[in-house]
Amino acid sequence: MKQHKLMGAIAFSGALALALAGCAAGTGDDNGDSGNEPVETKAADYNPQERDALQTGGEVRFPINEIPEQLNAFNGDGSADTARVAAWYTPQILLQEADGTPYKNDAYLDEWKIDTVDGNTQITFTFTDEAHWNDGTDMDWTAIEATWKANNGTDEAFNPNATDGYKAITSVEQGDSAKTAIVTFDGEFAWPEMPFLTGIIHPALADPETFNTAMIDNPHPEWGAGPYKVDEFDANSDYISFVPNEEWWGNEPLLDKVSFQGMDAAASINAFKADEIDMVGVNTKDRLEQVKDMDDITIYRATQTANTLIQVDADKPQFSDVKVREAFFKAINIDQQKEIAWNGLDYEEEPAGSLTLFPFQPGYSNALEEAGWKYDPDAAKKLLDEAGWAEGEDGVREKDGEKLSVVYPVWSDDATAEALAKALQAQMKEVGIDLQIDIRPSTDFSADYTSKNWDVSSLRFTSSDPFGAAWFCQLYCMDMGLNLSGVQNEETDQRIHDEVESLPTADEQTAAAMKLEAEIFQEWGLIPLYNGPSISAVKTGLANLTPEPYVGLDGFGVQPVENVGWEK
């Protein structure tokens, strides 16, 4: 359930309005009026087209929540937006169909095969003769080795996004030539498709200091490889653009230029109407209304491979008591939150009771319900009473002279995001919790989130592969940089290893992960709210949309960026 290795976090508002620019069924004449029957939402809807149906040339301009400070997509401080940017100028050695089925990118790899040798899973990568990095370094087995060493967790100086998969590898060795890497796991590995699906790093990043800091506000184009190269980059204005790479040896990129501009929700919809960008998320009734009468646009609608969730910081004194955390979550009316989020979208879905699997996946169960969650303000009040928080004269609970007040940032200027926050504020007021809403620009999200500049946060975890249990540790182990609720502990880490990761098959790991997730939810650090649709307005004729991970137009798909273009 992550992008083969990394599950990106993005601001909820961004998912609502920008990164959600997406995947959807062709409903170009649907105006989003409420009261209609639910509109069909496909698994993927991205205008797939063969290259010969597309023209050579042209430009595409995308909005993005932000150009993150950390531009190393493998670093724990990176986000889903980091991965989007990286996809346009770093190697995509393995690609994915919309359902998550992986296949090799022929430009980079002559061979990718999985075997069992002496009881151990073994993967062989053989790079093409032409494959090389932009600085002239040959692309060979050392890139696989560097990626493994930076992400396997054995050197604590590295700050990886996730160690899942990598930590199961015992060795990476050169094969018959430097172009071949042989990757050996400890025993039979249940998720052989998983490692390296996020890509690989330049060997220069194999040094911890370089890995952690060199790509802060610096994309280092020379460490990239692919059909496009970085053209312009401006950290201050949140802008990056790409042009065809003269070092590229594969299929010619179809576009003359691709750009990403960081912008808030209101700015993005206005930019789309002003013909300043070519795609925008319209995941609210208001945003759909603003584009419904535009000419030469198409509305796409699809199931989103992402979870909206609410998280509290157990390291903050207000939430140090598990009873307070449980009370907070049981005071949330999830049905009301969904009604606000989907108002006018004619959308329905099954309850999203897991962060490991989606309701449409085999093996899913409602772990949140099994953990004992339900909307129950009376139970929440009782828990707060038991925790010693008494109701004050103004209705806000107090203990030892301190009010039960928490800060809830909203990284957006979007009206629906504000309405969701105000509804949550009212729900908390009912039980005596003072929820202070703090409106912030979406460009502050990464820095605020990683520094835990919040008491409560609502955001989205996005997934670019269907192997949910494979990334269970990234979700729930200590010090992973994604789940920042602070409820993780060494005992849970050990249980994840013993009860999930040690099992021999994917089916067994999935069943065990779903069972353990229900117990983890009882620590009351974070809960899923809903998955939601991905709806976008797109200039008609733009094809093979969102080849990057974490966007949702093509489901779990990761496509060659050189195939994005305009129809003839």
Tell me the pLDDT tens digit for each residue of 158-189.
999 888 899 999 999 999 999 999 999 999 99
One-letter amino acid identity for 404? L
- pLDDT, mean over the chain: 91
Helix (H, G, I), strand (E, B) or coil at 184: strand
**DSSP-derived secondary structure letter, 509:** H
pLDDT at 341: 92
- The residue whose two tokens read 């494959």 is 131
Task: In whole angstroms, give the CA distance from residue 281 to residue 259.
Answer: 16
CB within 8 Å of 483: residues ≥ 6 apart = 311, 475, 476, 525, 526
User: What is the four-CA torsion angle of 324, 473, 360, 412, rounded to 10 degrees?
Assistant: 60
pLDDT of 489 > 90? The answer is yes
Task: Taking the CA atoms of 38, 40, 43 and 49 in sequence, report the sign of the dihedral they define.
Answer: negative
Whose CA is closest to 282, among 302, 262, 296?
302
Higher pLDDT, 411 or 37: 411
pLDDT digits (tens, 9 = 90+) for 494-548: 999 999 999 989 999 999 999 999 999 999 999 999 999 989 999 999 999 999 9
Q: What's the pLDDT score for residue 469?
A: 93
What's the one-letter identity of residue 300? Answer: Y
User: Which residues, including other chains, have CB under 8 Å from residue 485's CB and lie 6 or more apart?
Assistant: 311, 312, 313, 314, 523, 525, 526
Helices 322-330/377-386 angle, 10° precision: 160
371: pLDDT strictly greater than 80: yes
Round to whole Å and give the CA distance between 3 and 383.
38
Between 193 and 296, whose confidence is greater?
A: 296
Region of residue 47 (left: phi > 0; alpha: psi -120 to 50; beta: else): left
In this prediction, residue 3 carries a pLDDT of 36
Over residues 442-449, the mean pLDDT reads 88
Q: Nearest-CA neighbor of 20 among 312, 239, 347?
A: 347
Residue linked to tokens 């069943």: 511
Q: What was the pLDDT predicted at 11?
A: 53
- Averaged pLDDT, 20-43: 44
DSSP secondary structure code for residue 470 in this structure: G
Looking up tokens 């409420």, which residue turns up? Answer: 34
The pLDDT, as a whole number, for residue 34 is 41
Length of the chain: 568
Q: Mean pLDDT throughout 217-225?
A: 98
Least confident of 67-71, 251-255, 264-268, 492-496: 264-268
13 or 282: whose pLDDT is higher?
A: 282
Which residues are paired to 480 by β-bridges? none
State the pTM of this model: 0.81
Do residues 203 and 146 touch, judged by C-beta distance below 8 A? yes
pLDDT at 26: 26
Residue 54 has a pLDDT of 98
Mean pLDDT of 383-401: 97
With tokens 């390291």, the residue in question is 315
Decide which of 5 and 198 is more confident: 198
End-to-end CA distance of the chain: 36
Rounded Cα distance between 552 and 550, Å, is: 6
Cβ–Cβ < 8 Å for 112, 123: yes
Query: How many other C-beta atoms are found inside a 10 Å radius of the C-beta of residue 475?
Result: 25
Segment 112-131, tens digit of pLDDT: 999 999 999 999 999 999 99
pLDDT of residue 255: 98
pLDDT of 553 reads 84
Q: What's the pLDDT score for residue 18? A: 23
Percentage of the chain with pLDDT > 90?
Answer: 77
Report percent pLDDT > 70 for the chain.
93
pLDDT grade for 32, boundaries at 50, 70 and 90: very low
pLDDT at 30 over 70: no
Report residue 215: phi and psi, to 5°. Answer: -100, 20
What DSSP string runs through 357-385? S-TTSTT---HHHHTT----HHHHHHHHH
The helix-helix angle for 334-341 and 415-431 (nearest 10°) equals: 160
CA distance 529 to 456: 14
**Cα gap 559→326, rounded to integer Å:** 41
Parallel, antiparallel or unpaired: strands 306-312 and 456-462: antiparallel
pLDDT of residue 37: 67
Confidence of residue 247 (pLDDT cuts 50, 70, 90): very high
pLDDT on residue 418: 93
- The alpha carbons of the chain give a radius of gyration, in whole angstroms, of 23
Kindly give the pairing relationship between strand 8-11 and strand 526-530.
Answer: unpaired
Rounded distance, CA 553 to CA 566, Å? 16
Quick one: pLDDT band at residue 193, thresholds 50, 70, 90?
Answer: confident
For the chain, the maximum distance between any two Cα atoms, rounded to a whole number of angstroms, is: 77
Using an 8 Å Cβ cutoff, are 381 and 432 in contact? Answer: yes
Cβ atoms of residues 37 and 532 within 8 Å: no
Across 133-147, average pLDDT: 98
Which alpha helices (H) appear in 274-393, and where do they start and end? 285-291, 322-330, 334-341, 367-370, 377-386
Q: Which of 31-45, 430-444, 527-541 has the lowest mean pLDDT?
A: 31-45
The tokens of 338 are what? 């969904």
- Residue-wise pLDDT tens digits, 99-111: 889 999 999 999 9
Architecture of domain 306-530: Roll (3.10)
Write the DSSP assignment of 51-105 as a string of letters: GGGB-S--EEEEEES---SB--TTBTT--HHHHHHHTTTS---EEE-TTS-EEE-
Q: Is 430 exposed, middle or buried (0-12, 13-18, 19+ CB in 10 A)?
A: middle
pLDDT at residue 304, as a whole number: 86
Q: CA 185, CA 502: separation in Å to the nearest integer?
A: 13
The identity of residue 83, as a single letter, is: A
What's the average model confidence in pLDDT over 85-106? 94
pLDDT at position 457 is 96
Average pLDDT over residues 237-255: 98
Q: What is the pLDDT of residues 536-557, one digit of tens each?
A: 999 999 999 999 987 778 989 9
Q: What is the mean pLDDT of residues 448-458?
A: 95
Q: Is the pLDDT of residue 51 over 60?
A: yes
pLDDT digits (tens, 9 = 90+) for 337-350: 999 999 989 888 89
